[in-house]
Amino acid sequence: MGFIRQQEEKLAVRFLSWQYEKLKKPIPDEAELANQAAKIVEEAHDIARKRGRNVMSIIKDLIADIKNGK
């Protein structure tokens, strides 16, 4: 895995943790958060390839969807 991808996943983990705290939901263990972050980053890259959008904005949208239960 490349450096940028690792950084994107770390950012996604922090953002997910923040969202769980904000919603007053229990934060999953590190392994589960890492899996969720990896899936989100992978989806974001797929969407970016198809639509030509910025990966970080897509990651934020995907996490917002998780937060809203979609």
pTM exceeds 0.75, yes or no: no
Cβ neighbours of residue 51 under 8 Å, at least 6 residues apart?
none
Residue type at 33? Answer: L
Domain layout of the chain by residue ranges: 3-67
Tell me the pLDDT tens digit for each residue of 16-59.
998 899 889 999 999 999 999 999 889 888 887 787 767 777 77
Q: In this structure, are residues 59 and 34 in contact, taking their beta carbons and an 8 Å threshold? A: no
